[in-house]
Amino acid sequence: MKQRAIAIGIFWVILLTVLTLRAPGFFAGGNLRDMALSNAPALLVAVGMTLVILMGEIDVSVGSQFAVATVVAGLAAKSGLPLGLTVLVTAIAGALLGSLNGALIIGLRVPSIVATLAAMAFWRELLRWTTGGAWIQGLPASFQWMGLSQAGGEIVIFAATALIFGFFAWAMRNLRAGRGIYAIGSASEAARLAGIPVAGLSFSVFALLGALTGLAAALNAMRFSEVQPNAGAGLELKAISAVVIGGASISGGRGNLWGTLLGAAVLAVIAPSLTFLGINAFWEKAIQGGIILGAIVLERAAAGKRSARAH
């Protein structure tokens, strides 16, 4: 599946070259910073999603989890909880939602796509029903940027994202749990026989994805001074696309976080680069779909060539 990441990488370089020639302003420090900030929460979710997909499972409920966690963050801050605690409570709320998925999937053996499809509708609709779409306003002034200056807040978001990404990129190669996830995705029964606690580890990965989604929601909410309850619409597609574009196999066992980073980076530049190049927004979705399909075809072509050489 390396070929897919390479195919995408080639596409990315072409796009960046076009941007260098046609719209050099794209690479101004300010623009890169803003794009990275806007996409940092999605990257955090994609990190968790990578682990889930490496296990051969999927979670389509992260967008709804993100919305619930965002509202939790708003309510916690409004109730006067200190900011550190607010972030913690939000991450815990996310972890609980993730654990519930995990319990259904591992405990009751409901297929993950079914369980999380149900969770997606359930939490989104429950949130709509209870909040009626009302925003949470009048938050303490210190909510935005965690009481720091704008630059300080941005640094915190960057640092947290980079730290978490770096840790997992390291852990997937070096920790027993990380290798265990690959083992489960390759052959779950073999992993169990090899002494890997399959059930416990699988459950933890779903809870972890929830916690990362909650943390992402908290960090995202703190870029603003008010909380909107319909946050995270379409986040599940964005996260899954990032993982898949990055070369992970949807049936598990193959892929890595650097691929996901590449996938997230490609998705992040599409919308802004269209604006920079003056291309109409109406073609955005078609281009996104075209990239995924193009990657599949290129990957296959590359793999075909290689196997022809081997013969």
Partner 1 sequence: MRIENRAGSERALVGLILLEILIFAIFGPNFFTTGNAFEIVRLGVELGLLALALTPVIVSGGIDLSVGSMMGLCAVAFGYLWRDAHLPVWAAGSCTLAIGLAGGALNAILISRFKAAPLIVTLGTYSLFRGIAEGLTRGVDNFSQFPPSFLALGQGYIGGIVPAQMPVFVLFTAGFYLLLHRSIYGRAMRAVGFSPSGARWAGIPVENRLVLAYTLSGFTAAVASLIYVAHLGQAKSDAGTGYELLAITAVVLGGTAITGGKGSIFGTLLGLCAIVILQNGLRLAALPAELSGILTSAILVGTIAIGRLKSAPPKPEIDQAEDEVKNSQVAVLSAVILAGALIVAGTNVWLVRSLKGPETKAASGNKVVVGMLPKAKGDPYFVSCKRGAEASAAENGVELIWDGPTDVDPAKQNEIVEAWITRGVSTVAVSVVNAPGISTVLRKAREKGIKVLTWDADAEPNARDFFINQATPQGIGSTLADEAAAILGNKGDFAIVTGALSAANQNEWIKYIKQTVAEKYPGMNLVAIRPSDDDRDRAFAETQTLLKVYPNMKAVIVISAPAVPGAGEAVKQSGRKDVKVTGLSLPNLCKPYVHAGVVQSVVLWDTQNLGYLTVLASKLAAEGTLHAGVTSIDAGKLGKLEVKGDNVLLGKPMVFNKANIDKFDF
Cite the beta strand spans of the chain per DSSP E. none
178 or 267: whose CB is closer to partner 1? Answer: 267
Taking the least distance from each CB to partner 1, the nearer of 92 and 284 is 284
Q: Is 289 exposed, middle or buried (0-12, 13-18, 19+ CB in 10 A)?
A: exposed
Nearest approach, Cβ of residue 114 and partner 1 (Å): 5
SS3 content of the chain, % helix, strand, coil (to 5): 80, 0, 20
* Minimum CB distance to partner 1 smaller for 119 or for 178: 119
For 202-236, give one letter per residue: b (16+ CB within 10 A) or e. bbbbbbbbbbbbbbbbbbbbbbeeebbbebbeebb
CB of 172 to partner 1, least distance (A): 21
Task: Specify which residues 57 forms β-bridges with.
Answer: none
| Closer residue to partner 1 (CB): 103 or 160 | 103
End-to-end CA separation in angstroms for the chain: 20
**74 by DSSP, 3-state: which?**
helix
CB of 166 or CB of 290, closer to partner 1: 290
CB of 110 to partner 1, least distance (A): 5
Closer CB to partner 1, 96 or 118, in the complex:
118
In terms of Cα–Cα distance, which of 49, 47, 98 is closest to 252? 49
- The CB-of-31 to partner 1 minimum distance in angstroms stands at 5
Q: Compute the distance between CA of residue 101 and CA of residue 104 in angstroms, rounded to an integer.
A: 5
CB of 48 to partner 1, least distance (A): 18
- Quote the least distance from Cβ 288 to partner 1, whole Å: 5
CB closer to partner 1, 135 vs 167: 135
**106 secondary structure, DSSP code:** I
Residues in Cβ contact with 35 at an 8 Å cutoff, skipping those fewer than 6 apart: 268, 269, 272
Amino acid at 214: G
Taking the complex as a whole, the smallest distance from the CB of residue 298 to partner 1 amounts, in Å, to 10
